Chain A
Amino acid sequence: MSAEEVAGAIESGMTVGIGGWGSRRKPMALVSAILRSPVSDLTVVSYGGPDVGMLCAAGKVRKVVAPFVTLDSIPLEPCFRRARQAGEIEFAEYDEGMFMFGLLAAAHRLPFLPTRAGLGSDVMRVNPELRTVRSPYGDGEELVAVPALTMDVALVHMNRADARGNAQYLGPDPYFDDLYAKAAARCYVSCERIVDTADLLKEGPVQSLLISRSMVTGVVEAPGGAGFTSCEPDYGRDEDRQRRYVETGVDEQQG
């Protein structure tokens, strides 16, 4: 399918999870298609990078759920900063590990998972809906009950996929893209290249097959579709283009 068809399958008010991490392997072709679509009022769940910033700048976002928003080589994301400082968006600010447990809970269809991460910090103050649970065993420890980060749609960008949605990463880090796929009601995968199923293992070991077609609703072939974020080993981050985005607040390849 096309990036436009993915954007067209997203409705206003939905919760959308976006894979990658910071300015790394973000499904930017799919994000750009959302920017061009009429959808709005989204809740965006992300280890945030320019995906979050661009969606905020375009007025598509009601709420961001994230432990950070960063461009990695440039620490602060300009559009997210502006949106926060203008009071334009709600923010559920989680610890990175809490956030992973929220993804794990959703992927496993559990209502919550317990963790120590977050206890004692102002994450508990600014997210007053968060609850704690007490261990039912002898230790009796009080822990944060991280609610499942369930989502209507997940968007991830992978190096390779077959047409049915078996998707492969070839870089050094899977990030959490498999968890997004499992956490969402529907997952759309964009990829650098669609290949025959029989060719998947020609470029990487079986462990690189991160996402199964059973978790995937649609596949988009989008060469360069993570740019300007990195998509190792196909390409690194386009630092010049990212710098120009920071200077102008707009990415030159936004439709």
Chain B
Amino acid sequence: MSSRADVCVVACAEAFRGDGEILAAGIGGAVTVLAARLARLTFEPELLTHDGVCLLTGDVPALGRAPEVVEGWLPFRDHLWLVLNGRRHVMLGASQIDRYGNTNISCIGDWARPKAQLLGVRGAPGNTRCDPTSYWIPRHTPRVFVPEVDMVSGVGTDRGAFELRRVVTNLAVLDFRTPDGSMRLVSVHPGVKVDEVVAVTGFDLHIDGDVAVTREPTGEELRVLDRLDPERARDREVAA
């Protein structure tokens, strides 16, 4: 029996399918990190994964555990080099996202004097311009899925994004494979209705006919996830 978080991790892992020998970078927390490690341990064995600090790991440790084998060194300066080089697919977060996948992690309100200062743009402009990028959004709400973001940190398909691969939320999988590069509902997670997703999205979603259901994890995937995350940190990250 799989939980919603298991479905989300597998849907995030699917973002890395076909990537080959590039760095699969999760920005932190449980789900994105597990997704990269799960993909490497199952259908995408050539992927590179890191320890969250600056080591490329030769093995694939459980969450919070140090690797037993190190295969490379990736200090921050080399992360930033790799962003420009492009051999990297990062799964970012977003406080706001619009229908073209422009995202905001900088601030809420007027940039000149924000209502809420958040992180700053961090590496989102370069990531999205130079590398394949996906997003993990644990709370699919109208406050996140907005008509217009307050400060474009990650660029969308209408502003020169290199490739926005997919957006995974606690409710659904979305992508941008539409004629105008706007967001499309790809699948809803088991037990979620299309109307529910539409209701919590603050702009019109592209919907092609019958929407699929996100696939359930396989037995092997669940076994790998239980080894990587025996404490089930993933369940605590996903809104019910």
Contacts and interface: CB of A to CB of B under 8 A. Distances in A.
B152 A67 contact: no
A209 interface: no
Contacts of A81: 116-117
A13 interface: no
A48 B121 CA distance: 12
How big is chain A's contact interface, by range?
35 or more
A16 B130 CA distance: 30
Contacts, number: 123
B130 A116 contact: yes
Contact of A93 (B54, B80, B106): B106
Contacts of B128: 121
Contacts of B118: 76
Given A122-B151, A172-B54, A97 B121 contact: no
A172 B55 contact: yes
Interface residues of B, number: 39
Interface stretch (B107-115, B190-198, B199-207, B226-234): B107-115
B157 to A, nearest CB: 10
Contacts of B116: 81, 85
Given A117-B84, A174-B77, A176-B77, A84 B121 contact: no
A70 B28 CA distance: 14
Given A70-B119, A76-B117, A116-B130, A95 B77 contact: no
B115 A117 contact: no
6 contacts: A81-B117, A95-B123, A117-B125, A119-B125, A119-B160, A173-B53
Interface of A: 21, 47-48, 66-70, 75-76, 80-81, 84-87, 93-98, 100, 115-123, 125-126, 172-176
Report the 9 A-B pairs with minimum CB-CB distance, sorted nearest first: A117-B126, A68-B120, A121-B125, A120-B159, A120-B155, A84-B117, A96-B123, A122-B152, A95-B125
